[in-house]
Amino acid sequence: MSEPALTGRHALITGGSRGIGAAVARALGTHGARLTLIGRDEARLRETADALRGLTDVSYQVAHVESPEEVRHAFALAREAHGPADILINNAGSAESASFDKTDLELWHRMLAVNLTGTYLCTRAVLPAMRERGWGRIVNVASTAGLVGYFYVSAYCAAKHGVVGLTRSLALETAKSGVTVNAVCPGYTETDMVADAVRNIVEKTGRSADEARASLASRNPQGRLIRPEEVANAVAWLCLPDSDGVTGQAIAIAGGEVMTG
């Protein structure tokens, strides 16, 4: 019986303690990868890591991805534990809702820092070693907000559009190196971020939580929210050895809400 396709590979997942990040970690672990989970909440990281230890080797590091010093320290410890990262999943992110008129400079900086600068810093931390070894996979978890506009999240949309642009540019720079760079762009997904959006809708409109969820699901032509495992399966496919020819793509996982050509 052959070994799983990612046996011996080290996958590093930011925002890896819950939601899409935790689902991606499980999917990559199923394919044999060793895992490092990066996040801000040590208790949740520990809980997720413990749940995965029967599947593969897994460790975690606490870091804020928008901090150059914390990224440098966490990634150095990850290298000591599992070797250089072969796979990087830039999943850490945050969304805050406000009309443009109420989007102050602090909110703007927060959205760009965690969603875009964090992706930049983490990629910088692993790319040189990937190029040196001639193989690597970088998958950026963007959003349909990186492909189209949405009301009341202009800073978040700007940041996620930046992630998609970074993905495409970096894919060209690494095209002959054995490193691929792609993005996945989920629509509204069953995560804590959507739970926050539901609470925000309830507070601002007086609608019930069920009505708020239905409003978000209605954007998807399939009439539902995306499951984290659906995003994770797409990410895992992009990380497999046979996906060498796929780079620079921004793949919408949104039930047909956004169709890229």
- Give tens-digit pLDDT for 160-200: 999 999 999 999 999 999 999 999 999 988 877 777 777 77
Residue 28 in this model has a pLDDT that exceeds 70: yes
| Higher pLDDT pick, 210 / 180 | 180
- The active-site residue, picked from 60, 120, 156, 188, is 156
* Catalytic-residue membership of 60: no
pTM: 0.94
The burial class, CB within 10 Å (0-12 / 13-18 / 19+), for 172 is exposed
- CA angle (40 as vertex; 86, 200 as ends), nearest 5: 115
Q: Where are the domains of the chain?
A: 10-187+227-251, 189-225
Q: What gap in Å lies between CA 27 and CA 13, rounded to an integer?
A: 12
What is the per-residue pLDDT across 57-107, written as a single tens digit (0 to 9) for each? 999 999 999 999 999 999 999 999 999 999 999 999 999 989 999 999 999
Q: What gap in Å lies between CA 4 and CA 220, rounded to an integer?
A: 34
Residue 202 in this model has a pLDDT that exceeds 80: no
**What CATH class has 10-187+227-251?**
alpha beta
